Every structure is written in C-alpha cells, then in structure tokens.
Amino acid sequence: MKRLPPLPALHTFVVTAQCCNFTRAAQQLHITQGAVSRQIAGLESHLGYPLFVRQARGLSLTPQGRELFPKMQQVFALITEAVDDLEQASEAIQLKAPTCVMRWLWPRLMRWQAERPDVPVELTTTVQHGVDFRREDFGAAIIYGPPPGTGMVARHLFDEQLTPVCAPQLLKGPTPLKCVADLEHHMLLHPTREDTDWETWLKAAGGTLGNVSKGQHFETLDLAMSVATHGTGVAIGDWALIAEDLANGQLAMPFDLKVRTGLGYYLVYPQRAKASAGLVELFDWLLVQAGGR
C-alpha cells in the first residue's frame, strides 16, 4: 500500500492553494516562508507531480493541484467538524430554567446525570421566565410563557394547566371540599404575589369567592406546594409540574377541572447555533419524560 503524504504538508498545501502566495500562507500558518516552500516541495516529491507553477508574481495551481485542492478542503473540513463535535460533547450544557419548573425538572436532571454522566448539565435557575441568547451565555433554556418567537429553535414541553390541590386529609376534614363554594372556608395559597391563577381557575369553574385576596402569597410554586402538603390551605398549581406529588399521595385534587391558560413550557436554544449531539439527546429525553408525566 502506498504511503500517505504527511498531514501537515497537506494542510500547508490547502492554505497555500487558498491564497496562492507563500508569504501569506506562512503568515496564516505561523511558520517561515522557507518552511512553507520546503513542505510544498516535499509534498510534490512524495506525490510525483508538481502542485504549483512558480511565477514572478505568485503561484498558480497545476491541473493536478486544482484536482487535489477541493478534495483536501473537504478532508480538513471533516476533521475540523469532528474535533468541534468532540469538544462540544465534552463540555457541560449550560442550561437556564425558571424556578417555577424546578419541581418537575430537578429530579429528572438527576436521573439524566446518573444515566448519562458523559453529557453533563450545568443548571442556572432564575425567577425570569424567558431568555435572551444575545446577552446571556447559555447554550439552551427552558422558558415559560406563550410560544416563543424568532431567533430560537423551540420544542414544546407541556402546557400549563391550573387546578386546586391540597393535602388528602383536607378532603374529608371538618369542612370537606365537595364544591367550589367550600373553598370559602379554607385558606387559599398563591404560588405568586398575584391572584391571577386562582381568578383564572374560578372563572372557568363558574364560581366566585370572597377570600381570594385574603390568602397567603409565596415567591415560588415549590413553597406554596410545600405548605399545602401540611394541610394548612388549598393551593393553585400547574398540574403538569405537580403530577408526581399527586401520584404519590402527598397532594390531592379536590376538583377534576384543569384549566389551560394558553401558556406553556418550551425547550429552546439559539437559532444561530448548531445544537450539539448531547443537547439534542437531552431535549429528546426530556420530551419523553414530559410525555410520560
């Protein structure tokens, strides 16, 4: 089998062919002009034919050089792509997520890291619901709100569905929850500083309550749910985020009604960037998790 020419010499040939000038090629390769000339001469000797025609005003490719040049360009482009892919695979995915989704996201990320330690994720939580990839140095994010606009690739995770939840013992306590009006006799717990979630659900349920604004307000969904599990009130929460608490009996739904708000959760990454293989696998895995909640 014929011995292949040395890779450095082939790389020098590609750079020189792009500019057809030994001096400029030497500058790009950070070597001397004499080193470029010697590598090209050695490559021509190895191949058995000339690659350049030396002229007073520069260089031009020979027919053999013109045929070899695009093929070597493809080879080095593939090498560059392979190295970039490996570097991306070894780097941790920088993921931003709002605190409101952490009840759902955190245990799943722990499972992901146990199953795929080769694709690490560095999570940053925030009270913000969106992301600005032009100003924020994240590779991907989970956002909450309406469907995202241009500038990012988005995959729908799940929709927000509001429903009241409480500790199971509250359902059969001194003031059981049999109809919407029974909520008047319980402390209402809000996952935000606003009354919007309760008001949205009550409007869909066709009821009104006089104690909505008198309830307790919390900074996060997690805090409101934790208080609800102790039986001290009825919280309004996103069914998609608290399904595991319902399944294991920590929380119960006193009513069947779940109200879609038109908002949802989306996995996104910047449109200008190429998603790494690891990020694509993580997104696909999280989507399966969302479908099985």
Which residues are bridge partners to 189 per DSSP?
Answer: 216, 235
Structure tokens at 21: 């000038």
Domain 93-153+263-291 superfamily per CATH = Periplasmic binding protein-like II (3.40.190.10)
Nearest to 82 by CA among 269, 276, 273: 276
The 3-state DSSP class for residue 146 equals coil
What pLDDT digit, counting tens, does each position of 175-198 carry? 889 999 999 999 999 998 899 999
Which residue numbers in the chain have pLDDT < 50? 293
Given this model, what pLDDT does residue 62 score? 94
Do residues 164 and 180 touch, judged by C-beta distance below 8 A?
Answer: no
Given this model, what pLDDT does residue 86 score? 62
7-90 topology per CATH: Arc Repressor Mutant, subunit A (1.10.10)
For the chain, where do the domains classified as CATH 3.40.190.10 start and end? 93-153+263-291, 161-261
Task: State if pTM tops 0.85.
Answer: no
Given this model, what pLDDT does residue 85 score? 66
Domain 161-261 superfamily per CATH = Periplasmic binding protein-like II (3.40.190.10)
Q: Spell out the residues 6+ positions from residue 259 whose beta carbon is closer than 8 angstroms to its own.
A: 161, 162, 163, 200, 201, 204, 205
